[in-house]
Amino acid sequence: MQKLLQATNERLAHENRALVDDNERLKRDRLNIMDEIRKTKQEKASLIKKIRLLSNDEQEREKSFQEEIGALEKTNQEQSEYGDSLLVRINELENETETMTALYGELAWSDAKCRKLQRMLKEAEMGLGLAVINAPANRFQESRFHYNCGVVAYNSKKWRQAMREFKLALEKNPLDADAHFNLAMIYDVIKNEREQAIEHYLRYVELKPKSPDAATVKNYIMDLSLKNEVWGYPNCQNLDERLWPGRW
């Protein structure tokens, strides 16, 4: 009996050391992720500052451009010389517009990356990765059951029921990439809630980085994020939406 107690104490001590090591690792991961979030926010602030500076410069150049047009209408004799000057100014404005568009794209991707890092921080704190790896087989079966129910509901145009089933599937198995993709589809096309759609599209790309449509989905995420930045309202209408084929 004493040997059994001693063996039990040794096993518990070993498990306790393993838990302490895991806790330290999670703390280090949390600090690293928070540092990346801070850096990403700094990059975002820098990009916004650059965009504002370019916007002010463009307004000033536009004012000067209009003044030169008025001068051209009053002096027809100098029309040829002013025409050459205006062409140069137009090229400059076009180049600056392209620069602003590229900066908006970088800002949108920076926002998406920030949301990704925040989700990683939450998962690291909760230990979701370890929980999913050690999940019993019946949780996977329950996940597939809810996933299949979601597909049936979607095909019957029961959007709320489909969303509920896909969410239940992800509760049982957060690493189900197809469930993330289908849920993103509903948020994007049916609900028109782009923030939620972007989050699940990103999760799909993380879980299936080598899928045939991974690059296409990444580009679509940037387009979707850019629409939010430019229009300033996630549910704005009359935008060119793309209907992706779900995992049905």
For 24-73, the pLDDT digits (tens) are 888 888 888 888 888 888 988 888 888 888 878 778 888 887 888 787 78
Q: How far is CA 187 from the centre of its chain?
A: 13
Q: How far is CA 144 from the centre of its chain?
A: 26
Task: Report the pLDDT value the prediction gives residue 170, as an integer from 0 to 100.
Answer: 94
Q: Is the per-residue pLDDT at 78 higher than 90?
A: no
Task: Report the pLDDT value the prediction gives residue 55, as an integer from 0 to 100.
Answer: 78
To the nearest 5 percent, what fractions of the chain are helix, strand and coil? Answer: 85, 0, 15
**Assigned token pair, 213:** 């449509």
Q: Is the per-residue pLDDT at 221 higher than 60?
A: yes
d(CA 174, CA 82): 63
Kindly report, residue by residue over 172-183, the tens digit of the pLDDT.
999 999 999 999
| Mean confidence (pLDDT) of the chain | 80
- For 63, other C-beta atoms within 10 Å of its C-beta total 10
Fold of the 137-231 domain: 1.25.40
Mean pLDDT of 197-215: 92
Task: Report the pLDDT value the prediction gives residue 236, as an integer from 0 to 100.
Answer: 45
Prediction pTM value: 0.43
225 confidence band (pLDDT: 50, 70, 90) = confident
Give the residue, 72 or 104, on which the prediction is more confident. 72
Q: Is the per-residue pLDDT at 243 higher than 50?
A: no
Task: Report the pLDDT value the prediction gives residue 50, as an integer from 0 to 100.
Answer: 85
Task: Report the pLDDT value the prediction gives residue 155, as an integer from 0 to 100.
Answer: 92
- For 60, other C-beta atoms within 10 Å of its C-beta total 10
Kindly report, residue by residue over 4-14, the tens digit of the pLDDT.
788 888 888 88
**Assigned token pair, 107:** 């800002």
Q: Is the per-residue pLDDT at 116 higher than 70?
A: no
